[in-house]
A and B are shown apart, each in its own frame.
Chain A
Amino acid sequence: MKKLFEKLFTDKENKSFNLESSLPGKVAYPDIPKYIFPSYQDNLDTVKAVFNADLSSDIKIREFICGNKKAFIVFIESMIDSNRINTHILAPMMLVPADATEDMVEKSLVVVNQLMASDLFDDAFYSLSLGDCIIFVDGVKKAFICDVKSWERRSVQPPVSEAVIYGPHEGFTENFKTNGALIRKNVRSPDLISEMLKVGKVSKTPISLMYMKNIANEGLVKEVKRRIEMLETDYIFQLGQLEQFLEDKTFTLTPQFLTTERPDRAAECLIEGKVVILMHGSPFALVCPVTISEFFTTVEDKYVRFPFSNFMKVIRLIAILSSFLLPGLYIALINFHIEMIPSNLLFAIEASREAVPFPSLIELLLMELAFDIIREASLRVPSSIGSTLGIIGALIIGQAAVEASLVSPISIIIVAITGIGSFATPNYELNMSFRVLRYIYIIFGALWGFGGIAFCMFVHLAILSSSKSMGAPLFSSFSGFSMRHLFDYPIWKDEERHTTANPKQTKLQAKISRRWVKK
């Protein structure tokens, strides 16, 4: 038997494959020396070995003579501006008559605005992978890192998931420096600090930690930095991954960080004393700490007058509650508490369900499942097919299913309201958590009626009330009896900062901000 298994599952062609060398932690390339060598040849060999220059076609090494010394420049072809290398680096260096000294290269030969000399291979290779070019000169124990980045990048476009009517239409891009600039454009304060950190032992993905020096709590900034710096992982590519590494509670459905793709929202959070994290390659910003009420608000709430924003908040709250509570309540009502339903409505529901062969629970679960499948499919298909998918979904799930007596019209109405309610949820991650919660509420509603719903609500809120966002309770919006976190006041009355982030300065504006009122 053992031989048979070996015969069946052993790939003859890959017999030479060594499992151990592919295990995590095993380095496939030679150890990198720490310091730059004085010898030209040693440096060249190291660069070639580390970056597999023989195999990687995009790693370019150009050897040249600088004065009387040998030198070479290394860069990644697709990430640099070749014109700048030709005219501002190679031309002056190759045409220099005298010997190139370290001082000359740094101060007079290379004509780029950002140049750094480092004696560490680690710095040089990290910069190389970000799109800089590195110059090595024979006899010089330093590498010259020149900023010649020129990636293909997306221009600033309107945000996809946080569209507004009454506000700026610019969203973050995949370039974190552009994102940082967009935030700085909004804040315009010298107290805005942007600290550079790296995450991932191998990927060394650059991240920018932004906060207001005069407002943000020092303890909070230290805690964020501590958590980031203590991460021990090889690769982190996106903010979503970093968020999972940093969150307080892993096994909870509710997000503990606010994700935004709007620079104005990130700027607003900074003014509140929060910390914003930007990551290279991620068109979002991560904000912490947050409270639960911030997931229900949009940036537009600040831009419109307070009666409208409060009205929209109430509407949104109703939509959000219906997005996860309505199917469960419906099941509880028709299975356990039919006395609550008015007689006429009850007869209508029963008549519509008469031909349906499934119990109400199965019927509703099927509908919810179908709805989620359509939604998931519509996200993955090209936009041109998306509308077709919508029509197919509406026709098949709606009309055909009712005509075939697979589901009742009332179930479709419930699922439709639930779906519309979930689209009104401003935060995508919160929306996803409600999608999961909806099924739990349905099952408990079917098991135990209002008792099950109350049980779910209690447990849900018990978990939420013990959840924290970077040390700050998610439920701190409900601390005390103030409604400031939940509803907007007239903008001139908004005198205090939210206390969630425990800011250094609590005063947001003067007590009488409209001085023109008092003459």
Chain B
Amino acid sequence: MTLKSKEAVAVAINLICAKTFLMVPVYFKRLTESGSLITVLYVFTLAAVFLLIYLLSGKIKIPKFLYPIIAILMVLVCSINLFEYSTTVSALFFRTTPLFIIFLFFTLAMIIGAYSNIGKLNLFFVPVIYITVFLMLLFTFSDGNYYYLFPVLGKGFDAVFSDGFFMLSSLFEVIILFFIPDMLEDKKDVKKVTAYTLIFSFIIYLIITAGCLITVHTDLPENCFSPLFLILRQIKIGTYFQHPDTAFLIIYFLSAFLYLSGILYFASHILSKTWRKLSKKMLIIPFGLLILILGVNGENLMPATSYLNKALWIVPFIFPIFARRSFK
């Protein structure tokens, strides 16, 4: 694989897994009270989508009229995520900081990230972020409490499938795989990129989801720490890891910055493909500002959010088939 292909894999992994790690596990757990079945559903559906894209890679020609629609959808999704990340961070950690300042920080990082070499940035950060997340979880997850991961069915079979299925809209970002070939030096690499993204996304997804499902909403009493953490406590090093979960915040921010800038980059990229006179970099700042304005008024977007959450799954799932037909 060429360097550009590796960058493309990193971007794709990040866009899929960052969302997973930032939002999906908690979201799913709230709906189903368990992670086991929904994780299985999630992983297998993801596999199906990827497989479809993998099989059709190189044969797909996307109709031009769909480009602006996807770009607008991306901007909308990005605005909603910006709103959600900012309000979450504000409520949990920075209650005294004005919300607009948090919005501004996210937007600035998003624009700078999209302006710079997004591929290389992901290539550098993705392994760092996910290895750190794994280590953090290793230090904090409760000992042997696998209830959240393996209860029988949580709220029941119906709840898992009826509510959980629509949550698969979170996989909307998978559609960037269609636009990844533009990033590649050698177009033949697209199959490899898809395969690598598939394998690594699965591994990262499984680790992060499992870890998050176990740790979220756990009070972490001292006798419920992982053995590794207890060993550290025994040799008195662990005493200095009081509430290591706070350090998780840095990883959360970095993932959010990477995710937002990745989406902004691709939204600009897709639209610039529609009108050749528009350059990608020309669009980044206006799109960034648009996302900020929409994100600040996120509460007004909430009705749209519920529809998007239910309907967006159609795009990545149906898109490959539709695109294939259009090519024929």
Within 8 A of B (CB), among A446-505: 448-455, 457-459, 461-463, 465-466, 473, 475-476, 478-481
Q: Are A340 and B125 in contact (CB under 8 A)?
A: no
Which residues on the B side are within 8 Å of A336 (C-beta)?
A: 93-94
Given contacts A451-B89, A478-B124, contact A339 B249 (CB under 8 A): no
Q: Are A451 and B243 in contact (CB under 8 A)?
A: no
Q: How far does the Cβ of A507 sit from chain B's closest Cβ, in whole Å? A: 20
Q: Are A465 and B254 in contact (CB under 8 A)?
A: no
| Binary per-residue interface labels of chain B (202-239) against chain A in the complex, 1 for a CB within 8 Å, 0 otherwise | 00000000000000000000000000000000000001
* Cβ-based interface call for B67 (8 A): no
Q: Are B6 and A458 in contact (CB under 8 A)?
A: no
* Cβ-based interface call for A25 (8 A): no
* Cβ-based interface call for B162 (8 A): no
Q: Are A340 and B109 in contact (CB under 8 A)?
A: no
Within 8 A of A (CB), among B106-124: 108-109, 112-113, 115-117, 120-121, 123-124
* Cβ-based interface call for B250 (8 A): yes
Contact of A465 among B105, B120, B239, B242 (CB under 8 A): B120
Which residues on the A side are within 8 Å of B123 (C-beta)?
A: 475, 478-479
* Cβ-based interface call for A337 (8 A): yes
Q: Are B105 and A466 in contact (CB under 8 A)?
A: no
Q: How far does the Cβ of B193 sit from chain A's closest Cβ, in whole Å? A: 14
Which residues on the A side are within 8 Å of B6 (C-beta)?
A: 479-481
Which residues on the A side are within 8 Å of B112 (C-beta)?
A: 458-459, 462-463
Q: Are A340 and B121 in contact (CB under 8 A)?
A: no
* Cβ-based interface call for A342 (8 A): yes
Q: Are A451 and B125 in contact (CB under 8 A)?
A: no
Q: How far does the Cβ of B139 sit from chain A's closest Cβ, in whole Å? A: 13
* Cβ-based interface call for A341 (8 A): yes
Q: How far does the Cβ of B176 sit from chain A's closest Cβ, in whole Å? A: 19
Given contacts A448-B105, A449-B93, A458-B257, contact A465 B247 (CB under 8 A): no
Contact of B121 among A343, A450, A451, A465 (CB under 8 A): A465
Q: How far does the Cβ of A517 sit from chain B's closest Cβ, in whole Å? A: 32
Q: Are B94 and A473 in contact (CB under 8 A)?
A: no
Q: Are A340 and B116 in contact (CB under 8 A)?
A: no
Contact of B120 among A450, A466, A481 (CB under 8 A): A466
Within 8 A of A (CB), among B242-264: 242-244, 246-247, 249-250, 253-254, 257-258, 261
Given contacts A451-B93, A451-B94, A480-B6, contact A463 B244 (CB under 8 A): no
Q: How far does the Cβ of A249 sit from chain B's closest Cβ, in whole Å? A: 11
Q: Are B124 and A340 in contact (CB under 8 A)?
A: no
Q: Are A337 and B105 in contact (CB under 8 A)?
A: no
* Cβ-based interface call for B156 (8 A): no
Q: In the complex the two chains form, what is the Cα distance from A470 to B28 in whole Å?
A: 49
| Binary per-residue interface labels of chain B (121-142) against chain A in the complex, 1 for a CB within 8 Å, 0 otherwise | 1011101000000000000000
Q: Are B117 and A466 in contact (CB under 8 A)?
A: yes
* Cβ-based interface call for B300 (8 A): no
Q: In the complex the two chains form, what is the Cα distance from A454 to B132 in whole Å?
A: 14
* Subset of 22 A-B contacts with CB under 8 Å: A336-B94, A337-B93, A339-B243, A448-B94, A448-B102, A449-B94, A450-B250, A451-B94, A451-B105, A454-B254, A454-B257, A457-B250, A458-B258, A462-B112, A462-B113, A465-B120, A465-B121, A465-B124, A466-B115, A475-B117, A479-B6, A479-B120
Chain A interface residues toward B at CB < 8 A? 336-337, 339-343, 345, 448-455, 457-459, 461-463, 465-466, 473, 475-476, 478-481
Chain B interface residues toward A at CB < 8 A? 3, 6, 89, 93-94, 97, 101-102, 105, 108-109, 112-113, 115-117, 120-121, 123-125, 127, 239-240, 242-244, 246-247, 249-250, 253-254, 257-258, 261
Given contacts A457-B250, A462-B115, A463-B116, 7 further A-B contacts (CB under 8 A): A448-B101, A458-B113, A461-B124, A462-B261, A475-B117, A476-B3, A480-B3
